[in-house]
Each structure stands twice: as C-alpha cells, then as structure tokens.
Structure 1
Amino acid sequence: MRPAVFFDRDGVLNEDDGYAFEPSKIRWIKGAPEAVRAVNQSGYLAFVVTNQSGIARGFYGEHQVHALHEWMAAQLADVGARIDEFAYCPHHPEGTVTEYRQTCSCRKPQPGMINELSKRHSVDIHRSIMIGDKQSDLEAASAAGVTGHMFRGPDLKEFVAPLLKQLPRIR
C-alpha cells in the first residue's frame, strides 16, 4: 500500500475562474506543476478529486472534462510531473441535466471519490493527505480518514514542501 496526496483541482492546481473546462482558459496556480512533481518524487501517488457541477448544470459535458484532464496531464508531463488519476463528480442535486441531477456519494463533502481511488490504487489512507481550498474538501478528506490541509495560496510548491517533509518517507 502506498500513501497519496489528493488535490482538489480548481483553486488548488489551477485558478478557480468558475466552471473551467477549456484548456485555453486554464491558469495554473503558481508552483502547482512543481508541487505535483515533488509529490511524485517523494514516492506518493498523486490524485485529483474535483466536483464538476458544470456538467449537471449543462455548461459542458464529460468529454470536455476528460479533454481538459488529458491536457493538464500533458502539461504536467512537460515538467516531469504526473497525476496518477483524475476523478470528478458530475452530479448536483439542482442540476438541469436530468441524468446528473442527484445527491450522490462522490460529490464533496462526501468521500466517494477518495474512497474509490483508495480502493482502486491500494492507498494507505492513514499516511495520505488532501489539499483543498474549501471546507467541503476537508470534510471529504476527514470522512475518508485522510488528513486535510487548507490551501489559500499563493504558491502550491511552497505550501506542499513542508507537508512532504512531515510525511513518512516511502521505501
């Protein structure tokens, strides 16, 4: 079992400009690619867990989320970083798209995305952390048994570096 760092996406890896789905409009948070690379180099798995209610609201489709995540993965690869898996929740109880209008276990603050990734990748929950920018991120982490950390900017690499020093080393 390996520990992981779970990242929220909007507001942690990229600026939260509201309903982001177009690569041309994505602005990385300062130090984000380097923070992901540092997590990789520490031997931790790196995951993204993101609520994407824009799908339920009809602003964009799942294929656009997949395309954005592929673009982000390619951008990260250019600096020697990788996300081991992107997970997203397309649901919202007030969505306008019927198939996505629901209450679910994957929408943060519920822990569903973290739990599923943990099972699929044999994650050591007790040595893992979540980095988010909203209380719902920390609540999801807590519900999954993961220690949550609130990121308020401005530089993700500077935020992550001391956390990695506190985490147990991977052998």
Structure 2
Amino acid sequence: MTTGTTTDHRPTRRPGVLLDRDGTIIEDSGYVGRTSDVRFLDGAIEAIARLNAAGVPVAVVTNQAGVARGFYELEDVHLVHKHMAAELASRGAHVDLWLFCPYHPDGIVPAFARSSADRKPGPGMALAAADALALDLASSWVVGDSACDVGLARAAGARALWIDTSDDDLAPGVRRVPDLVAAVDIVLTDLANGPGAGPSAFPTRHYATGADYATEYSNELARAVAGVDPVGIETAARILSDAYRTDRAVFTCGNGGSASIANHFQCDHEKGVRTGTGLTTRVASLSTNVEILSAIANDIGYDVVFEYQLESQARPGDVLVVVSSSGRSPNVVRALQWARAHGMATVAMTGFTGGPARELADASIHVDSHNYGVVEDSHQACMHLLAQYVRQSLMSDADVAAQVF
C-alpha cells in the first residue's frame, strides 16, 4: 500500500534506493504504530537529503504486520508516514514514495491475515516502486537491517546494502554497512564511478592484435560467468528439474542471437538430458518456426509472436525460459507477463542492466556485462550447465563417470 508519492512516473529507467523503515531510518522499538514512537536514527535525515540532492529517487518499503496483528490500524501507518514526511521536509529531505505491506499469514485481523507477494522478501513493493518511479531495479539498491531486506534485493535483482554490525558471513553480492549514512556513501560513490559500478563495458580501447583481444575477451568472459548469481542458477535448476520430473512443458524464446540459444536449449534439454537418464522431457522453442513467427508478426504484430504461441500451447504449471541480452525486448517482456498471469514458472537470462525481464522472472540468470558477445556466450554456458546438472542429478556417481557430457 502507498501513502503518497512526490515523483511522477517517467519513461526513462534510472537507479534508485529502496529503504527499509524501522531500524534503517527510525529506531526499531517494535511495531512503531504511533507518531510519538518515531525517533529518527542519527544522520538518517541528512543521508536521505544527500540522495535527494543527487537526484536519486527514494522509496520506503516496509513490512507493517502490526496491522494484521491488531496492534494498530492502516490509518495509523499513514499518520506515521505523514509525520515522518513533515520531519524530513523540515530538514530539507523527502521520500518520493511510501510503500508498506499490512499483511501477515499469522495475523488476527481477518482482512489482513494472509500471505502477500508485497511482504518482504517478496518482490511486490520493489516492483511497485519500479513502476511508479521508473526505476531500473538492476541498478538500484535495497538498504535495510534484516534478512528480509536482503531477500527483497535478491527477488528484485537489486543490490543489497545490509545495516548490520555482526561478524556473520554475508551472502554473495551483499555489502555490510553500519548505518544509513554509510550506505548512502556507497550509493553516491557507485553512481559517481559511472558504468564501472554496474555492468562491465568491454572493449574500452583499440587492440593491435587478435591475440591481445582474445586474451582480454577471455578474461571478460570468465569474469562475467563467475559473476552470475548462484541463487539464480539454483532457482532455475530447481524449476527445470521439477518441470521435467512432473512432465510439464518447457518453452523457450529469444530474438537474434538469443533465438539461437533458445533453439539450442531445446536440443540440449530434450535430447541431451534424455541421454543416459531415459527422462523424456517436453521442450519447445517459440523462436524456431519461421512460418508461425512471420504469420503472427505480419497479421498481428511482432510484439506478440511469443505470447500468441503460449496462448495456444502453454498450460498452468508449465515453464517459460526467455533469453534476452537487454531484457527489454517487448515480445519477451509480454511473454513473461502472460506466463506469470497464467500460472507458469519463469526463468530469464539477461545481460546489461537486465531490464524488465530480470525483474519479472521467478529465476534471474543475469550476466553483468555490456558486451553482446560476452553476454550471449555466458547465456550459452548457463544453458549447457543447467542441462548437464539435470542430467547428472538422475545418475549415480558411477554412471556420471561413465558418460560423456
């Protein structure tokens, strides 16, 4: 739920910051539901003002299970946010969007006693912020003091800054900070560093010999593959394994070079997975039939060439795997949206900033590179390793050793 926005929707996607509330901006005294309980943490207002001055959109995303538990009501949350907004404004700061989730499955208030995709670590509030503020979540940050904030960053494909003073091990890609002040230091430094803070740009200079270029290209490819989030791989592997074991259909699609990867996906995940396992998977590429592609494109529009095929062939419980270097291809995004709306599990292989595809998919395999060749080579490697993982998971150690992969 929202409690107001001061920034209009803009078509150009940009990085932003999603802030937890209690324990990040104000003291977490346990279910803060009254304005009298609001106490700002040292430096928090000034830190938000620095983001405002830099033109960085700021959204607050907070779980408010106190509503579901009957500790306070929706209007109380709105009043707290109104009070906080006034305090921020008095010191030259503002929040562009206030979002909160009042639901909890263990609540006692019937209207709010349920699960919700908006409740962190679910991605709902991040996706709502991205839509309202035109954010590119792949280049944005989530700042919070709990594991559910880190989970939100993972679910949204954003960067996580965890306010934590323990010595516990951190998950890959998570950075620990002592407070919001330090988190904003990192955000502004990363923004000042430009493209180097996000996906890697290659090449950036002229190379005199093919051998020199090959060396640097190989280094960039190795870096890109090594940087793929293992959580995305693990989630995709689980989705595909479950689908193949339960005889669900798996559809793939992509454009250009990504279409060839989608087609190759069908080969390796149908014929390859079956070798030595006897598993008869059902995999189909939506990019391979020029007759149906051209008929749909000519008569209806290229934006629906994949969605239209899914409408005829897909069923709830099936899987869609999209391959898109930019993550922005309209036909790929529309296919993902249709799949989500009709009960399909989704996997997205993306590059560059990831675009909407990275945000929409259940499993995001994102390659942190701005080079099409590197992104596509990495996607091909991920396609292969997923097929080989599923195949070997059905074999004994002896069988694996006896097979050629």
TM-score (normalizing by structure 1)? 0.94
List, as ranges, runs of 4+ consecutive aligned residues in structure 1 with deviation greater than 4 Å: none
| Cα distance in 2 between the residues matched to 1:50 and 1:3 | 19
| Cα distance in 2 between the residues matched to 1:18 and 1:56 | 14
Report the counterpart of residue 92 of structure 2 in structure 1: 80
Deviation at residue 88 of structure 1 after TM alignment: 0.3
Partner AA of 2:99 in structure 1? A
Return 147-156 or 57-66, whichever deviates more: 147-156
Gaps of 5+ in 1: none
Report the counterpart of residue 56 of structure 1 in structure 2: 68
Deviation at residue 121 of structure 1 after TM alignment: 1.8
Gaps of 5+ in 2: 1-12, 166-177, 195-405
Partner AA of 1:33 in structure 2? I
| Cα distance in 2 between the residues matched to 1:169 and 1:57 | 44
Q: Is this contact kept in 2: 1:133–1:151, CA < 8 A?
A: yes
Please tell me whether residue 43 in structure 1 is matched to residue 55 in structure 2. Answer: yes
Q: Is this contact kept in 1: 2:118–2:125, CA < 8 A?
A: yes
| Cα distance in 2 between the residues matched to 1:140 and 1:156 | 17
Q: Is this contact kept in 1: 2:143–2:183, CA < 8 A?
A: no
Report the counterpart of residue 12 of structure 1 in structure 2: 24
Partner AA of 2:101 in structure 1? C
Please tell me whether residue 22 in structure 1 is matched to residue 46 in structure 2. Answer: no
Whichever structure has more helix as a proportion of its residues is 2
Q: Is this contact kept in 1: 2:143–2:180, CA < 8 A?
A: no
Partner AA of 2:33 in structure 1? F
| Cα distance in 2 between the residues matched to 1:155 and 1:11 | 9
| 1:1-171 equivalence runs, <5 A | 1-152=13-164, 155-167=179-191
> SS where residue 118 of structure 1 aligns?
helix
Q: Is this contact kept in 1: 2:24–2:179, CA < 8 A?
A: no
Number of corresponding residues: 170
| Cα distance in 2 between the residues matched to 1:169 and 1:16 | 33
> SS where residue 167 of structure 1 aligns?
helix
Deviation at residue 169 of structure 1 after TM alignment: 7.2
> SS where residue 60 of structure 1 aligns?
coil
Identical residues among aligned pairs (%): 40
Task: Quickly say closer, same or farther: Cα 1:116–1:159, change in 2 above 3 A.
Answer: closer
| Cα distance in 2 between the residues matched to 1:121 and 1:166 | 20
Partner AA of 1:30 in structure 2? D
| Cα distance in 1 between the residues matched to 2:193 and 2:87 | 27
| Cα distance in 1 between the residues matched to 2:46 and 2:119 | 27
| Cα distance in 2 between the residues matched to 1:133 and 1:166 | 20
| Cα distance in 1 between the residues matched to 2:70 and 2:179 | 32
Deviation at residue 168 of structure 1 after TM alignment: 5.0
> SS where residue 102 of structure 1 aligns?
coil
Return 45-54 or 138-147, whichever deviates more: 138-147
> SS where residue 24 of structure 2 aligns?
coil
Task: Quickly say closer, same or farther: Cα 1:140–1:158, change in 2 above 3 A.
Answer: closer
> SS where residue 93 of structure 2 aligns?
coil
> SS where residue 43 of structure 1 aligns?
coil
| Cα distance in 1 between the residues matched to 2:114 and 2:134 | 28
Return 153-162 or 57-66, whichever deviates more: 153-162
> SS where residue 160 of structure 2 aligns?
strand
| Cα distance in 2 between the residues matched to 1:117 and 1:162 | 21
> SS where residue 152 of structure 2 aligns?
helix
Partner AA of 1:22 in structure 2? R
Q: Is this contact kept in 1: 2:163–2:179, CA < 8 A?
A: no
Alignment deviations for residues 32-87 of structure 1 (CA, whole Å, 9 cap, x no partner): 00111011111110000000000000010000000110110010001111000110
TM-score (normalizing by structure 2)? 0.41
